[in-house]
Amino acid sequence: MRTLLLLLPLTVGCAGVTIQPGQRGLFFDPAAGGLKREVLQPGYHSMSSCFMKKSCQYIEVFDVSYQTKKETVSTTSSEGLTMNVDVAVNYRPIIAELYELNTEIGQNYYVDIVSPEFKSAAMGVFARHSHTQLTKLNEKIEDEIEADLRRRIKGKHVEISSVNIEKVHYSPDIAAAIEAKIVAEQNAAKNKAALEAEALRKKMELEHASEQAKLKAELDVKAKKTEAEIAEAQAHIDKTKAETSASVQITYAKAEAESKKVLADATAKEKKAEYAHVTPLVVQLHGYQALGKLGGSGTQVYLGDWSKVPQFLYPHAFGGMPAPMKPAAQPVNKPTKLPANPSDDNPYL
């Protein structure tokens, strides 16, 4: 805490006065009209000797650095609760108005002007607020006190830098009630936090279950889609196999038919070539051979004029009378079948 430095007027002879940094001074010369308006800056200032003089020169020194004073203000809150509040004010004299401050108020300007106005401004502001707001809205309340204090000391040659609320003292009953309220609020906050945490946990569980169900449904849809695609692909493969098999069968049938056709054409050409070399004599010979087979073994067939020759002219190999000659057996409704290939039964072809 900084204190006001006051140098008493010099009553003994001296060579001068040194003004320290953070200080200013006013020169008093009784022989030249008294106190001077000029503000003396830090440094050494000489004066004439006052030995054997009734009135001497002196320098009135003021501390112009910011100083802090603490006050305990007894007040009531907006609810009517009594409380003591420790507040501090930071102030200093206006340097350019030191002459007016010294001539109008003097060195005790804080006690005479600042302190009473400061307490009054603080009491008025505290009365407008609840005791619970003193800690929650302390900066706002400090600004209100500062503004009201500046209004009150306007023109008193003092400037205010800031106002601070340092501590609030409640009566024992009020302190116990406040403490109980704080504990209840803390418990309520804990319970609220626990409920919110539990609600959040349940919400996350529901969201997780929902996500799992959604994921399962998507997987099922994808599986069914995959099965459908596989079935479609298999059907396409089966269709391709069937078409390929049918195509192969058709190709094979066409090839076989073409082969048969080519073989038949070749056979026909071969037969044609063979028949082109068959003479009438060959045909006659085949006819005789066929007739001989129709009569069976040991049968003689005579054609043309030889059939009229008596049979006795053809004795049997073992003698005796020849048996009556029977007409040659004729096949009944039995068509003559020529060999498919005349060369098969014709050793000469």
* Residue 39's pLDDT band (cuts 50, 70, 90): confident
Residue 141 counted as domain residue: yes
Phi, psi dihedral angles at 90 (to 5 degrees): -110, 125
Mean per-residue pLDDT, 232-254: 84
Least confident window among 3-12, 211-220, 226-235, 335-344: 3-12
Average confidence score pLDDT of the chain? 78
Alpha-carbon torsion 7, 8, 12, 16, what sign? positive
Task: Clarify whether residues 154 and 184 are in a common domain.
Answer: no
Least confident window among 31-45, 135-149, 204-218, 267-281: 267-281
Residue 325 has pLDDT above 60, yes or no: no
pLDDT of amino acid 185: 81
* Residue 120's pLDDT band (cuts 50, 70, 90): very high
Residue 282 counted as domain residue: no
pLDDT of amino acid 74: 87
| Contact yes or no for 154/121 (Cβ under 8 A) | no
pLDDT of amino acid 163: 93
Mean per-residue pLDDT, 112-129: 91
* CA–CA gap between residue 19 and residue 47 (Å, rounded): 13
pLDDT of amino acid 100: 92
Residue 342 has pLDDT above 70, yes or no: no
Q: Which of 170, 192, 223 is the last residue of a domain?
A: 170
Least confident window among 6-15, 250-259, 320-329: 6-15
Residue 290 counted as domain residue: no
Residue 327 counted as domain residue: no
Phi, psi dihedral angles at 294 (to 5 degrees): -70, -30
Q: What percent of the chain has pLDDT over 70?
A: 73
Please enumerate in sequence order all residues whose Cβ is within 8 A of that of 67, keeping only pairs 6 or more positions apart, or say none.
Answer: 1, 2, 3, 4, 90, 91, 92, 110
Half-sphere exposure in the Cβ direction for 310 (13 Å, CA): 5
Output the pTM of the full model.
0.47
Residue with more model confidence, 16 or 314: 16
Tokens of 10: 């010099």
Residue 342 counted as domain residue: no
Residue 133 counted as domain residue: yes
Task: Clarify whether residues 119 and 106 are in a common domain.
Answer: yes
pLDDT of amino acid 258: 83
pLDDT of amino acid 320: 46
Residue 87 counted as domain residue: yes
What are the E-state strand segments in the chain? 16-19, 23-29, 34-40, 43-46, 58-63, 67-76, 82-93, 158-170
Q: Which of 244, 275, 306 is the last residue of a domain?
A: 275
pLDDT of amino acid 157: 94
Residue 17 has pLDDT above 80, yes or no: yes
Residue 124 counted as domain residue: yes
Residue 97 has pLDDT above 50, yes or no: yes
* CA–CA gap between residue 26 and residue 19 (Å, rounded): 10
Query: What does the CA dihedral 210, 213, 215, 220 come to, rounded to 10 degrees?
Result: -160
Mean per-residue pLDDT, 91-109: 92
Helix axes 115-127, 138-152, angle to 10 degrees: 140
Residue with more model confidence, 159 or 130: 159
Tokens of 53: 């003089």
Mean per-residue pLDDT, 64-89: 88
pLDDT of amino acid 183: 80
pLDDT of amino acid 71: 92
Q: What is the CATH number of the domain that holds 157?
A: 3.30.479.30
| Contact yes or no for 343/274 (Cβ under 8 A) | yes
Residue with more model confidence, 336 or 282: 282
Mean per-residue pLDDT, 248-267: 83
Task: Clarify whether residues 55 and 129 are in a common domain.
Answer: no
* CA–CA gap between residue 169 and residue 72 (Å, rounded): 10
Q: What are the angstrom distances between the C-alpha of 318 and each of 196, 211, 315, 321?
A: 143, 122, 8, 10
pLDDT of amino acid 31: 75
Task: Clarify whether residues 179 and 164 are in a common domain.
Answer: no
Alpha-carbon torsion 258, 270, 292, 307, what sign? positive
Q: What is the number of structural domains in the chain? A: 3
pLDDT of amino acid 3: 40
Task: Clarify whether residues 76 and 56 are in a common domain.
Answer: no
pLDDT in tens, 190-239: 899 999 999 999 999 999 898 889 888 988 898 888 888 898 888 888 88
* Residue ranges making up the domain that contains 23: 16-63
